[in-house]
C-alpha cells in the first residue's frame, strides 16, 4: 500500500527545507560538515543570543552529549564543535565561558544558543528572551587537530 499523498508532500517539504550538507564528516567528529565553511579564525562575532527551551533538556546535542540546562554548553552555526568562547552580554557587561557542543540557533540574527544556567549568568532572562552579545572564541579546533587561540584568549 502506498503512503497517502499528504504524507509524501510533507516528506518532500521537509527535505526541501532541510539544511544543506556538503557530505563527509567534520574532522574528529561524526558530525556532517555544513555546506558553509566553519569559522576557525578565532575572531569575535556580535549578534543576538537566545537560550535553550526546557524541552531540550537531556536531548542529544550535535556532539552526542545530552543537553545539560545547568552546563556551559552552547550552540553555534559557524563555530566548530569543541570551541570554547567567552559570551558577553553587551547590555549588562556580564560574561561566561561556554563550550560549543551543538548546532543552531536557526533564527536569523541569532549567533548562539546558551544553556539556561549560562543565560542567567550573563543576565539573560525569560523576560528578555534574547540579548545582544559578543562571542569571543578562546580556543578553536582546527582541521589538522591543532588549537588556534582566539580573540577571547587575549582578555
Q: What dihedral do alpha carbons 21, 147, 113, 136 form, nearest 10°?
A: -130
| Domain of residue 117, residue span | 37-154
Which residues are CB-neighbours of 74 under 8 A, at least 6 positions away?
Answer: 85, 87, 98, 99, 100, 101, 102, 112, 113, 114, 115, 118
In a domain, 23, yes or no: no
Model pLDDT, residue 75:
98
Q: Residue 151: what pLDDT?
A: 95
The string of pLDDT tens digits covering residues 13-33 is 333 333 333 333 444 444 554
In a domain, 13, yes or no: no
Q: For residue range 2-14, list pLDDT tens digits in order.
A: 555 544 443 443 3
* Residue that is written with C-alpha cell 553587551 in the block: 90
List the beta bridge partners of residue 17.
none
Percent of the chain surpassing pLDDT 90: 70
Stated pTM of the model: 0.76
Least confident window among 31-35, 41-45, 53-57: 31-35
User: How many folded domains does the chain comprise?
Assistant: 1
pLDDT > 70 in the chain, percent = 76
- Residue 37 pLDDT level (bands cut at 50, 70, 90): confident
Structural domain contains residue 62? yes
Query: pLDDT averaged over the chain?
Result: 83
> Grid cell 545582544 — which residue?
132
C-alpha distances (whole Å) from 120 to each of 17, 71, 110 are 33, 12, 17
Residue 66 CA neighbour count, 13 Å, CB half: 8
Average pLDDT of span 59-84? 97
Three-state DSSP state, 17: helix
Q: Find the length of the chain.
A: 155
Q: What CATH number is given to the structural domain containing 64?
A: 2.40.40.10
Residue 16 belongs to some domain of the structure: no
Contacts of 89 (CB under 8 A, 6+ apart): 49, 95, 122, 123, 124, 131, 132, 133
- What element of type H or E holds 117? helix 116-121
C-beta of residue 135 within 8 angstroms of C-beta of residue 97: no
Do the domain assignments include residue 120?
Answer: yes
**Model pLDDT, residue 68:** 97
Per the domain annotation, does 71 fall within a domain?
A: yes
Q: What is the mean pLDDT of residues 23-47?
A: 68
Contact of 104 with 34, CB cutoff 8 Å: no
Residues 97-149: pLDDT tens digits? 999 999 999 999 999 999 999 999 999 988 889 999 999 999 999 999 999 99
pLDDT higher than 90, residue 80: yes
| Any domain includes 9 | no
Residue 30 resides in a domain = no
How much is the pLDDT for 13?
35
Amino acid at each position: 500500500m502506498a503512503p497517502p499523498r499528504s504524507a509524501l508532500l510533507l516528506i518532500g517539504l521537509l527535505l526541501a527545507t532541510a539544511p544543506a550538507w556538503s557530505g563527509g564528516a567534520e574532522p574528529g567528529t561524526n558530525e556532517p560538515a555544513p555546506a558553509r565553511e566553519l569559522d576557525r579564525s578565532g575572531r569575535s562575532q556580535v549578534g543576538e543570543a537566545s537560550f535553550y527551551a526546557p524541552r531540550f533538556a537531556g536531548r542529544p546535542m550535535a556532539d552526542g552529549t545530552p543537553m545539560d540546562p545547568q552546563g556551559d554548553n552552547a550552540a553555534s552555526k559557524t563555530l566548530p564543535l569543541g570551541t570554547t568562547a567567552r559570551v558577553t552580554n553587551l547590555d549588562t557587561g556580564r560574561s561566561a565561558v561556554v563550550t560549543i557542543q551543538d548546532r543552531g540557533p536557526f533564527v536569523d540574527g541569532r549567533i548562539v544558543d546558551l544553556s539556561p544556567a549560562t543565560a542567567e549568568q550573563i543576565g539573560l532572562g525569560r523576560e528578555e528572551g534574547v540579548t545582544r552579545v559578543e562571542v569571543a572564541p578562546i580556543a578553536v579546533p582546527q582541521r589538522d587537530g591543532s588549537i588556534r587561540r582566539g580573540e577571547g584568549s587575549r582578555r
